[in-house]
A = this chain, B = another copy of it.
Amino acid sequence: MIIVLKPNATKADADELLELIESAGLKPLYMPGVERTVLGAIGDERLLGKIHIESHPLVEKVTPILTSFKMVSRELQRQDTVVDLGGAKIGGGNFTVIAGPCAVEAEEIMLATANAVKKSGAHGIRGGAYKPRSSPYSFQGLGLEGLKILNNVSNQTGLPAVTEVVEAGDVAQVEKYAHAFQIGARNMQNFRLLQAVGQSRKPVILKRGMAATADDLLMSAEYIVSEGNGNVILCERGIRTFETATRNTLDLNAIPYLKEKTHLPVVVDPSHGTGVRDYVAPMAKAAAACGADGLLIEVHANPKIAMSDGYQSLYPEQFDKLMDELALVVEAIGKKMT
């Protein structure tokens, strides 16, 4: 850790801080300069959390040298983690596509959609039973009934199922009916929920929050992994910026960044990432081209009647065409999509 002192800090101030650094078990370093004095703290700087050096009134700036995540870091584990999601492999050289409606609405629609996406080559299905909605007056999901529908459809089609969990108290129930948990963007820093899914051994798809940096996402993954569940899949789904032409700004730069920093698989949700049906296919291909390990994508047997996010759901025939096009890009990039 690098500590820059304010211009008016004296040698005595520096000494006080150097002593603090040493007391935390780190090697202190003193670098007096012309305009500023700089201190260093060499060692596992995560220990410095204990001494709150940034609180000191004569400290101008503290710059960490090491990242604050550990277990998810590629420095700890060089090779890619490959997560087994009910038979579908995510990570390594695989490109994996999970498709389905935003919300589970009725068994017929869910089954029709699942059959369609299976035929087009999808590896898993998705559908929300618990829907976090900005308005208390919007459709909030079917709850337990939705979980059962999803489970039935998964059994009938053989496709593993992913569904969102919104509260620590629901984890046991959701675990019973789904092959993987999804943590939504709004709950990325609901730390109780992260700890709860961390105590499960089922895979967790962790979506990036709308105001979360890629490092914040890694810290949230660290919460889950540090509880003992290493089956975490990160998901880029767009961040909030000034641009209003699209619902969110899909930050694909985060893909090479995350793939460099972590061994966990990284997928992309181009449906929420754009919010516009016509842009889903191009951004799905872009995600594959820059190194994502797969996609989470909204498909609905009849988007016109979808109860949420219908304007961004693909029609089954659009999804089918996309899968053909994706296959070419995935091959060009040297991955496999089977």
| Interface residues, chain A, with chain B CB atoms under 8 Å away | 2, 4, 7, 29, 31-36, 38, 40, 42-44, 46, 49, 52, 54-57, 59, 63, 65-66, 68-69, 75, 132-140, 166-169, 186-187, 189-192, 209-211, 213-216, 219-220, 222-223, 226, 238-246, 249-257, 260, 273-274, 276-279, 282-283, 285-291, 303-308, 310-311, 313, 325, 328-329, 331-333
Contact = CB atoms under 8 A, between A and B. Distances in A.
A254 to B, nearest CB: 7
Nearest to A329: B332
Given A189-B186, A239-B249, A65 B329 contact: no
A52 B304 contact: yes
B244 A244 contact: yes
A256 B243 contact: no
Contact of A289 (B133, B240, B255, B288): B288
Contacts of A135: 49, 68-69, 219, 222
A44 to B, nearest CB: 7
A40 B32 CA distance: 11
B245 A138 contact: no
A292 to B, nearest CB: 9
Contacts of A75: 7, 35
B186 A283 contact: no
Contact of A216 (B49, B134, B137): B134
Contacts of A279: 253, 256-257
Contacts of A290: 282-283, 285-286, 289
B223 A46 contact: no
For A33, A325, A331, which residue has the most chain B Cβ atoms within 10 angstroms?
A: A33
A14 to B, nearest CB: 14
Nearest to A42: B33
Contacts of A329: 289, 329, 332-333
Nearest to A168: B167
Nearest to A327: B332
Given A168-B169, A186-B190, A256-B274, 8 more contacts: A49-B138, A57-B277, A136-B219, A167-B192, A250-B251, A256-B282, A282-B289, A283-B290
Contacts of A166: 190-192
A211 B210 contact: yes
A282 B291 contact: yes
